[in-house]
Amino acid sequence: MEIEAEAAETGHRSGRRTARKARPDDVVEVVTRGEGRRSWSADQKRRIVVEAMQPGVTPAEVIRRWGLTSSLFYTWRRQVMSGGLGAVPMPLPAFAQVAMAEEAPIPPLSAPEIPVRPPARMEVVLPDGTVLRLDEDVGADALRRVLAVLRGR
C-alpha cells in the first residue's frame, strides 16, 4: 500500500523497500577504496616485481606493502617475464661451492662364489634310461614316494 502511494507520487515502482524509514540522526558509513585508481609507470611495475623476486621476500609481502591486488601483481610479473615491460636485471643465481674429492680406489669385482655340491652318493638308472642322482640327505620316505610315482607311470 505504501509502495503504491509512493509510485503514484513519484512514478517509480520498486519492490525494494525496508520496513524502517531512515531518521535524520541515523549514521551511514560509506567505505571507499581510499585514493582513486592509481596509475603505475612501467619502471614502477618492474621495480615492484623485482622486489618480490629477491631472496627471502614473498610476493604476498610486496603486494601488501604496495596495496596491490594479487591479480594485478601477477599480471605485471607475467609481463616482466615475457619482456613486455622492458629488460629487468635478474639476480645471478647463487651456487654452492663444489670441491672435487680424490677418486677412491675401486676394489676389483670378483665373481660370486657358487657353492660346490658334493657328488651324488647314489645313482639309480631306470629301465627307460632315466637317471636319478640322490644326495645323502634324501630321506627314505621321500625316496619311497618318488619310486612309487615312477612305478605308476
pLDDT digits (tens, 9 = 90+) for 80-119: 888 887 777 666 677 778 888 888 888 888 888 877 766 6
Query: Which pLDDT value is given to residue 3?
Result: 54
Mean pLDDT over residues 23-38, rounded? 70
Number of other residues whose CB lies within 10 A of the CB of residue 75: 12
Predicted TM-score (pTM) of the model is: 0.38
Query: Which pLDDT value is given to residue 34?
Result: 59
Whole-Å CA distances, 42 to 60, 73, 74, 76, 78:
20, 13, 14, 9, 13
Query: Which pLDDT value is given to residue 73?
Result: 93
Which three three-digit cell numbers place residue 24?
A: 535524520
